[in-house]
Structure 1
């Protein structure tokens, strides 16, 4: 028996590839296996090659694997595109309908199974993916009964007969493969899992759940890949808690509506990707100068322009930090796992209200849409902090003609905030420079006082932010410090033990706060290393440049990848090794 393997299903977009992977992984998750999944899909509604690669393990895993053990193919293109990943002795299970063939020189074993034919005989060709799941179950040595609860969850609303037929398809697929293979396969039998109950979710769902748990009750947004799942999750859930989602005409409207809701005292967020973030820039500046809390999720994807809308990239970093015209305080947070995405969403609202600033939660496509096993969430950790929001029924009475000092100059840079309509809370709000009461003012003295007030807000944040840099340090004196951001965390952690086995002393730092930059937290790690290398999915080394701007470091090397695919552990291992 084995403790882990990598399984992939592929075919044309629109023929059930995603649901095949979903059913396969959900069933294994419920048995207590750890999983990590990554989908490769085309930027079109139907057609084009798509695949779903899922790693299954009896212990925690947070990265896609270098190789592939089992490939389920619904067409020849799937074999042609993915066969190079197959390990020696790997298995391809292809639909006999298209006459599957292995490329010359392949060391894999091919089994043709009539997915479509079996499904058609059972009632409909649409169930061919269930036949494929059954064949996979046979190879893994798992009982088809584990799929019962998943099939019921997905199909019971269509009736018991549909559930029964789909289970028949799974069992028939298993029986056929057992006869076809006659045991002529390697050891793909999975060791028994621990049976523990864990979540299995994508980063976007974790962000949405975190926003809901953190008190968000309004989301204006415009659909865009890879952010739309946040909106789709909250469309279903927010109404149950007195909230709502509005699909706006564009991202400009979404951002300004979120500002308006937050001004009214309702925690609100919006979510988008690079093109939408570009449209929001002026509104982000409005949030900054009016000191109105705002939470934005930016799910990075391949750019520029429409670019590669369904592919991995980390190239919005400078845009998020420096994109707005003028100078405002803002916060850019970068969770590195699905679990962190949940807690960070809650913290983003706290920071936005405590400091009265725009907060951007940045993810990347692999984190937003990649599916991971997540330990049960601890709701005892949830802490709602609303900062200087005064919700008393009546504020101190003001002299005639005097407004409430909404923008009062304070030592910490944060002024009292009130809900519109409160008695004695009348103040002016404008996007032009203003005095303490919000009235427009072009006075040089006032301008400097208000700018200084706003800009000193975030001075303490780097020290107060929970784990601005995740530190994985095994050495007081390291040969190499590897730094990453967002989804690269798991891949780096898998690559580094290989370097350690080869005699290198390696530490790892994962940046979780991109702005204000955690200079001190990172400097302590830099000082312990002979060499520093930054792993990031862009062409210009944006995180590396941030480090050079903020830290004392002799030289920073970059490992860059910008072909639309996430890093593999072997790529990081090999490129780090070349530095020595």
Structure 2
């Protein structure tokens, strides 16, 4: 028996690939397996090759696999595009209708299954996704009753007749492939899972859930890949808690409405991707100048311009830190797991109100849309911190004096009120202003206000939970590997392989990108012989931040990937091994 297995389904977009994966992975989750998924899809509604890859394991995993055990193909293109990933004697389950052929040089076993024919016998080709899933499930020797239960949960709302036909498609395909092979594939029998309940979700859903738990009750947003699922989740969820979602005419409106809601005392967020964040920059500057808290999610994708809307990239880092005209205080957080997407969203709302700044939650497509197993969330960890928001009755000011909304204080954080509070009257403007908010061009006031705003975030790294996440078993490692976002799990796996090969390595995921956690990171760079910075962009943006804030440029090596695909563990392992050999020479 084996402890892990990799499975992929592919076909034309709109052909049922995603629903095939959904039922298959849901049933595996019910059994207690750990899963990690990657979805490759085209930037169109229908047509174009798409595939979903799932890694299945009895132990926690946070990276896609280097190779492939089973490929389910609805068409020949899927075989042609993906067969090279198959390990020797891997399996292809293909729709017999397309007369599938294994490409030359690929040593794989082909199982032609009448997937479309089975579906059409039941009344519609729509059932072929269940036939394909059923054939896979049967070859793995897994209990069909668990799979059928997942089918019932998915299609129950459509009525008993639909459920029965889907289950019949599963049964027929399972019986066909088992007869064809003479039973399940013994070499692909998975060890039993632990049976524990786990979550299986995408990062965007975890962010949406985190927003609800944080007390967010309003989301203005404009749909964009790969951020739309945050909006879709909250459209369904916020009304249950007295909140609402508004689809705005553009991202400019979305950001300004979120700022307005926060100014009014309502926790609000918006979410977008690179093109949308470009449109938001002026509004983000307004939030910085007026010291209005707001949470903004940037789900990075391939750029520039429309770029690669459905592909992986991490190229918005410097734009999120330095993109606004002028200089404002802001916080940029970068979660690396599903659990962190949830908890960091809550922390983002707290930090926004404590420091009265825009907080950008920076994810990437793989983390946003890749479905992954997560441990049950602990809602007892949820705390709400509203900073210096004056929620009680205010004391009257001196006669004819406005409330000092932008008062100079020792830590730079001023008292904040909700509009309409008695004795809280003040002026708000995007131009430079004095302590009461009235416009001021005084050079002395300008310097004091700039210092006040910029200095107040100096303590952020002490406030943030784990500004860096450290896996450092070695005191003086040969290599220190640094990454951010979804690269974290892939680097973890590569680091373990490096250790097994005799290369002593440590790993750090940077979770706070701005203000940069210089003090926390510096000791680890000092002790490492060489440093590898792994990131999905062409210019080494994280490496640039490290050089700027920490130094050690002579030790830094950038491993960059910007072809739209996430890193594989084997790629990082190979690069680091070769670098270590060169350095030793």
TM-score normalised by structure 2 residue count: 0.98
Aligned residues of 1:468 and 1:518 also touching (Cα < 8 A): yes
CA offset digits 1:459-508 (Å, max 9, x no partner): 11112211111010011010000000000011111111221122111000
Q: Which residue pairs with 2:209 in the alignment?
A: 209
CA offset digits 1:123-167 (Å, max 9, x no partner): 221100101111001111101111233222221111111111111
Are residue 501 (structure 1) and residue 475 (structure 2) matched?
no
CA offset digits 1:205-240 (Å, max 9, x no partner): 000000100000000000000000000000000000
Q: Decide which moves more: 230-239 or 394-403.
A: 394-403
CA distance in 2, matches of 1:26, 1:386: 38
Aligned residues of 2:313 and 2:537 also touching (Cα < 8 A): yes
Q: Which residue pairs with 1:87 in the alignment?
A: 87
Q: Decide which moves more: 21-30 or 115-124.
A: 115-124
Aligned residues of 2:139 and 2:184 also touching (Cα < 8 A): no
Q: What SS is found at the alignment partner of 1:478?
A: coil
Aligned residues of 2:138 and 2:184 also touching (Cα < 8 A): no
Deviation at 1:185, TM superposition (A): 4.5
CA offset digits 1:506-563 (Å, max 9, x no partner): 0000000000000011111111100001000000000001000011313310100000
Q: What SS is found at the alignment partner of 2:529?
A: strand
Q: Which residue pairs with 1:336 in the alignment?
A: 336
CA distance in 2, matches of 1:547, 1:225: 29
Q: Which residue pairs with 2:272 in the alignment?
A: 272
Are residue 225 (structure 1) and residue 256 (structure 2) matched?
no
CA offset digits 1:232-255 (Å, max 9, x no partner): 000000000000000000000000
Where in structure 1 are there 5+ consecutive unaligned residues?
Answer: none
RMSD of Structure 2 on Structure 1 (CA)? 0.9
Q: Which residue pairs with 1:318 in the alignment?
A: 318
Residue 455 and residue 184 in structure 1: after superposition, are their counterparts in 2 closer, same or farther (change >3 A)?
A: closer
CA distance in 2, matches of 1:540, 1:437: 43
Q: Which residue pairs with 1:466 in the alignment?
A: 465
CA offset digits 1:271-298 (Å, max 9, x no partner): 0000000000000000000000010000
Superposition pairs of residues 186-197 of structure 1, within 5 angstroms: 187-197=187-197
Aligned residues of 1:9 and 1:72 also touching (Cα < 8 A): yes
CA offset digits 1:32-78 (Å, max 9, x no partner): 00000010000000000000000011111111000000000000000
Q: Which residue pairs with 1:456 in the alignment?
A: 455
Deviation at 1:379, TM superposition (A): 0.6
Q: What SS is found at the alignment partner of 1:399?
A: coil
Q: What SS is found at the alignment partner of 1:565?
A: coil
Structure 1 consecutive aligned stretches of length 4 or more whose deviation exceeds 4 Å: 183-186
Q: Which residue pairs with 1:19 in the alignment?
A: 19
CA distance in 1, matches of 2:13, 2:136: 20
CA offset digits 1:93-134 (Å, max 9, x no partner): 000000000001211100100000011112221100101111
Q: Which residue pairs with 1:156 in the alignment?
A: 156
Aligned residues of 2:288 and 2:329 also touching (Cα < 8 A): yes
CA distance in 2, matches of 1:20, 1:376: 25
Q: Which residue pairs with 1:425 in the alignment?
A: 424
CA offset digits 1:384-437 (Å, max 9, x no partner): 000000011x31112332110000000110011001101111000000000000
CA distance in 2, matches of 1:399, 1:524: 51
Q: Which residue pairs with 1:66 in the alignment?
A: 66
CA distance in 1, matches of 2:59, 2:469: 21
Q: Which residue pairs with 2:37 in the alignment?
A: 37
Aligned residues of 2:140 and 2:184 also touching (Cα < 8 A): no
CA distance in 2, matches of 1:82, 1:519: 42
Q: What SS is found at the alignment partner of 1:6?
A: strand
Q: What SS is found at the alignment partner of 1:578?
A: helix
Aligned residues of 1:89 and 1:186 also touching (Cα < 8 A): no
Q: Which residue pairs with 2:144 in the alignment?
A: 144
Are residue 486 (structure 1) and residue 485 (structure 2) matched?
yes
Q: Which residue pairs with 1:112 in the alignment?
A: 112
Q: Which residue pairs with 2:303 in the alignment?
A: 303
Aligned residues of 2:141 and 2:184 also touching (Cα < 8 A): no
Where in structure 2 are there 5+ consecutive unaligned residues?
Answer: none
Q: Which residue pairs with 1:373 in the alignment?
A: 373
Aligned residues of 2:141 and 2:185 also touching (Cα < 8 A): no
Are residue 395 (structure 1) and residue 394 (structure 2) matched?
yes
Q: Which residue pairs with 1:352 in the alignment?
A: 352
Q: Which residue pairs with 1:540 in the alignment?
A: 539
Deviation at 1:186, TM superposition (A): 5.4
CA distance in 1, matches of 2:396, 2:521: 49
CA distance in 2, matches of 1:483, 1:89: 36
CA distance in 2, matches of 1:20, 1:185: 20
Aligned residues of 1:274 and 1:300 also touching (Cα < 8 A): yes
Q: What SS is found at the alignment partner of 1:332?
A: strand
CA offset digits 1:309-349 (Å, max 9, x no partner): 00000000010000001111000000010111000000000
Q: Decide which moves more: 196-205 or 178-187.
A: 178-187
CA distance in 2, matches of 1:504, 1:51: 35
Q: Which residue pairs with 1:288 in the alignment?
A: 288
CA distance in 2, matches of 1:43, 1:184: 37
CA distance in 1, matches of 2:224, 2:184: 46
Q: What SS is found at the alignment partner of 2:91?
A: strand
Residue 115 and residue 170 in structure 1: after superposition, are their counterparts in 2 closer, same or farther (change >3 A)?
A: same
